[in-house]
Structure 1
Amino acid sequence: GTYGICESCSKKISAKRLQILPLSILCIDCKESMEHT
């Protein structure tokens, strides 16, 4: 994957999220939808 780009939808991951979770591969939208499925 590309740093700062969501693996699932290719949107940019917010800088704030990357500060908290530098290795996150999903944007907040995809992460939340995965957790609620």
Structure 2
Amino acid sequence: MKITVINGQNHKGSTYNIAKELCGKLGGEVTEFFLPK
């Protein structure tokens, strides 16, 4: 499964960690984007 994660901030906080764990459980190819300031 292909997964795309769009992060709203450049720092890696709690939402980033939750998304990372969820992607790990789902498996597949993960593409991450960070929105600019």
Larger strand share, 1 or 2: 2
**TM superposition score normalised by structure 2:** 0.29
TM-score (normalised: structure 1): 0.29
